[in-house]
Amino acid sequence: MRNFLSVTDLIPDEIISVVERASAFKQGASSNALAGKVGVMIFDKPSLRTKLSFDVGIGKLGGRAIYFSHEEIGMDFRETAEDIGRVVSRMSDFAVVRTFDHSKVERLSEAASITVINALTDGEHPCQALADLQTIREVKGSYQGFKTAYVGDGNNVAASLALAVASVGGSLTIGSPEGYQLPEDVLKKAQTIASETGGTIEQVTSPEAAVSDASIVYTDVWTSMGQEAESRVRKKDFVGFQVNPQLLENAAPEVKIMHDLPAHPGEEVSVGLLDEPRSIVFDQAENRLHAQMGLMDFLLSDG
Ligand code: NVA
């Protein structure tokens, strides 16, 4: 039984193989890996892409999804993460969990006896990173030989992206203001993985330096779910870190723009940028479905 709480729960070869399965599903391959299986989705935060893609993906693999919102379960309010893990293990085959503190999904999975998949925590968004790798590979044909830049908050999305790009030997530069950089342990882990795969993970405080000659420029919101009280301060602290046509003049001519969505146009991206032909955000969103089907097929197949 395997969990997927962090990108690092899969070794690099497994990540590559999951993304290959994802591409096969996108091209029409099918699997009955979840026939007769029930996946419980426990979501403490709102969701469009993650909820839809898991629900649809579980169905396409022959399984059944049951969704619980924060109001219905209330992790650590109505009952503990541990008790939720124990109870869902008695009646279902795997759990897909979106919550706040990363330690909650760890505690739930330690008490559970079924596979647990992280559908976003404050620490990581590993399913997003699988879809990101699939999208990057579609556009560039490989993972190596070009630069990806991430501009903005060193948050859950940035952490999983750094670990994923490192795993496939890619090159990533993250540009964040002081105080909003990747947690030190995540940066070290990504750099250690990169040193074994031939990748490079760098962190800078200049957005121009981050995007310089980049073929992919990725950004995410400045204020993540749960940080709403900090929104005013963050808007000030991130001045100069907006991905806009001017900043993109520093990037490679063929640059493509990525964003995990939802976006806040006028903040981390200029208004209209994600509607331009160089934006690949809707391919990226669609790939959530294929990437998670690849993941579930890998983690949950009986044979
Ligand atoms: N960093 C964002 C990602 C949303 C999909 C958040 O956690 O709110």
Average pLDDT over residues 38-63: 98
pLDDT at 209: 98
How far apart are the CA of 225 and the centre of ligand 1, in A?
6
Query: Residue 140: is its pLDDT beyond 80?
Result: yes
Residue with CA nearest ligand 1 atom 2: 224
* Superfamily the domain 128-280 falls into: Aspartate/ornithine carbamoyltransferase (3.40.50.1370)
Average pLDDT over residues 92-115: 98
**Average pLDDT of span 42-60:** 98
- Gap from CA of 268 to ligand 1 centroid (Å): 13
Percent of residues, the chain, with pLDDT higher than 70: 100
Mean pLDDT of the chain: 98
- 7-125+285-300 matches 128-280 in fold: yes
Q: Tokens 């990173």 map to which residue? A: 129
Instruction: Output the six-digit token pair for 276.
Output: 């331009």
Q: What is the pLDDT of residue 277?
A: 97
Q: What number of other Cβ atoms are within 10 A of residue 249's Cβ?
A: 11
4-30 pLDDT, tens digit per residue, is 999 999 999 999 999 999 999 999 999
For residue range 198-252, what is the model confidence (pLDDT) as tens digits? 999 999 999 999 999 999 999 999 999 999 999 999 999 999 999 999 999 999 9
Whole-number Å distance between alpha carbons of 58 and 37: 9
Supply the pLDDT for residue 299: 98
| Ligand 1 surroundings by CB, under 6 angstroms | 120, 155-157, 220-221, 224-225, 260
- Domain boundaries of the chain, sorted by first residue: 7-125+285-300, 128-280
Q: Percent of the chain beyond pLDDT 90?
A: 99
The pLDDT score that the predictor gives to residue 142 is 97
Q: How far apart are CA 300 and CA 76, in angstroms?
A: 27
Residue (of 145, 100, 138) closest to 119 by Cα position: 100
**Residue 194 CB contacts under 8 Å (≥ 6 apart), including other chains:** 165, 166, 169, 200, 201
Closest CA to 39 of 51, 25, 23, 47: 51
Q: Is the pLDDT of residue 302 over 90?
A: no
Give the whole-angstrom CA distance, residue 141 versus residue 32: 29
Which of 263, 244, 300, 297 lies closest to 17 in space, CA to CA?
Answer: 297
For the CA of 220, the nearest atom of ligand 1? 1
Distance CA 105, CA 116 (A): 8
Cα of 249 from ligand 1 centre, angstroms: 27
Pick the CATH number of 7-125+285-300 from 3.40.1190.20, 1.10.10.10, 3.40.50.1370, 3.30.70.1140: 3.40.50.1370
Distance of alpha carbon 34 from alpha carbon 218, whole angstroms: 33
What type of residue is 64? R
Atom of ligand 1 nearest to the CA of 226: 8
Range 43-57 average pLDDT:
98
Å from CA of 62 to ligand 1 middle: 29
183 upstream amide cis, omega within 30 of 0 = no
Q: To test ligand 1's pocket by mutation, which of 43, 53, 122, 157 has the most ligand atoms within 8 angstroms of CB? A: 157
82 falls in which pLDDT band (50, 70, 90)?
very high
Does pLDDT of 303 surpass 90? no
Q: What is the mean pLDDT of residues 56-68?
A: 98
SS3 label, residue 161: helix
Which residue CA neighbors atom 6 of ligand 1 most closely? Answer: 224
- Which numbered atom of ligand 1 lies nearest the CA of 227? 8
Q: What b/e sequence results for 152-182 when a residue is b if at least 16 CB atoms lie within 10 Å of its CB, and e otherwise?
A: bbbbbbbbbbbbbbbbbbbbbbbbbbeebbb
pLDDT digits (tens, 9 = 90+) for 142-198: 999 999 999 999 999 999 999 999 999 999 999 999 999 999 999 999 999 999 999
Helix (H, G, I), strand (E, B) or coil at 294: helix
CA distance linking residue 140 with residue 149, whole number of Å:
14
